[in-house]
């Protein structure tokens, strides 16, 4: 009788552990965990003696793929020495728009550590936006904004198109030029946000379609300014495009671009506070701006749960990915 109860307890414990910490190396439904030093074999789970700890975390061993792993393997916390509580604080500071130096001082970490953690978070936000794309429906506003090209973090080479600028300096040429990077944006009133960089200066038809293809719902009313590329979005979606500049004065209380202009102001405030964002990283920050613009008291807890809980879809990126993965090239 005792052995039957013991067997049932262990089987239930293994099942719960497997649900909480799925095995990511081989994808099989077996699991290894230390339980009283005994070795048991079940149809779906195997239990064996533990093989030590790594950075204070229980270490496991898979007999099928012959690799060791911990509970944070293939998650955003992979290869990190920091606890989930520290990651929670870094996510909070990132969404709230604090600087890396502020987070570094508050959590007593190095600048390089916080930089890598922040960019792992930004890469995860890009992954989320790709897996869960925003669909603009009902009444949505489309417009573009421009920020100065920035080579922050590296020295300008002799063959660069322009000399280096100091923080706060203006463009050498007047008006729109190749020194400006175009951010195409779309906002559904009271709902999702899209922001993406595809080119320099004014966007063309192909660039606008590339940004919004797959992001426009059927029957959507798209409000825009006089850019000629926007009316052609009707070719890739069953939508209606309306130019607010051609609306009678009496109807401008509804047909306006105030929401998307508010997004542009938000992006530029963050951009100035950061003292520029390296252009190669700009689409990562656009994913952050899209979430931060609509943030409320539930945004950060929900995001921390999605990124840090090991049983959720993992968003694993290494430090090498920080400087090489999906960089913007214009």
Chain segment 20-70, per-residue pLDDT in tens: 444 444 444 444 443 333 333 333 344 444 566 666 777 777 766 677 777
Mean pLDDT confidence for 219-225: 90
Question: Which region, left, alpha or beta, applies to residue 231 given φ > 0 means left and ψ of -120 to 50 means alpha?
Answer: alpha
Least confident of 41-55, 137-151, 313-327: 41-55
| Paired tokens of 41 | 């074999």
Q: What is the mean pLDDT of the chain?
A: 80
Higher per-residue confidence, 6 vs 228: 228
pLDDT at 326: 87
Please enumerate in sequence order all residues whose Cβ is within 8 A of that of 38, keeping only pairs 6 or more positions apart, or say none: 47
pLDDT at 195: 93
Please enumerate in sequence order all residues whose Cβ is within 8 A of that of 1, keeping only pairs 6 or more positions apart, or say none: none
| Paired tokens of 213 | 């293809």
pLDDT class of 194 with cuts at 50, 70, 90 = very high
Mean pLDDT confidence for 231-257: 87
User: Does the structure show a pLDDT above 90 at 187?
Assistant: yes
Q: Please list the alpha-helical segments (H only) found in the chain.
A: 2-20, 84-96, 100-107, 111-131, 205-212, 258-273, 282-293, 299-308, 319-322
């Amino acid at each position: 009788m005792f052995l039957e109860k013991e067997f049932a307890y262990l089987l239930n414990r293994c099942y719960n552990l497997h649900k909480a910490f799925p095995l990511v190396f081989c994808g099989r439904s077996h699991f290894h965990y230390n339980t009283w030093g005994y070795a048991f074999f079940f149809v779906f789970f195997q239990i064996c003696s533990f093989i030590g700890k790594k950075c204070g975390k229980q270490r496991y061993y898979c007999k099928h793929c012959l690799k060791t792993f911990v509970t944070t393997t293939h998650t955003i916390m992979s290869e990190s020495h920091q606890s989930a509580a520290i990651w929670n604080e870094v996510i909070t500071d990132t969404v709230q728009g604090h600087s890396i130096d502020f987070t570094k001082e508050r959590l007593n970490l190095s600048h390089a550590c916080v930089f890598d953690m922040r960019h792992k978070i930004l890469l995860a936000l890009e992954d989320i936006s790709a897996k869960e794309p925003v669909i603009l429906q009902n009444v949505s506003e489309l417009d573009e904004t421009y920020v100065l090209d920035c080579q922050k973090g590296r020295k300008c080479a002799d063959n660069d198109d322009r000399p280096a600028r100091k923080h706060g300096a203006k463009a050498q040429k007047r008006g729109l030029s190749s020194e400006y990077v175009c951010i195409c944006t779309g906002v559904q009133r009271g709902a999702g946000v899209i922001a993406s960089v595809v080119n320099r200066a004014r966007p063309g038809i192909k660039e606008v379609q590339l940004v919004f293809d797959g992001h426009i719902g059927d029957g959507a009313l798209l409000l825009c300014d006089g850019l000629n590329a926007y009316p052609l979005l009707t070719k890739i979606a069953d939508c209606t495009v309306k130019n607010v500049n051609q609306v009678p004065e009496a109807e401008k209380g509804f047909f306006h671009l105030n929401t998307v202009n508010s997004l542009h102001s938000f992006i530029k405030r963050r951009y100035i506070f950061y003292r520029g964002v390296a252009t190669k990283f700009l689409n990562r920050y656009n994913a952050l701006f899209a979430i931060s613009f609509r943030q409320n008291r539930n945004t950060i807890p929900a995001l921390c749960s999605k990124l840090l809980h090991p049983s959720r879809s993992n968003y694993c990126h290494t430090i090498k990915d920080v400087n090489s993965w999906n960089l913007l090239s214009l």
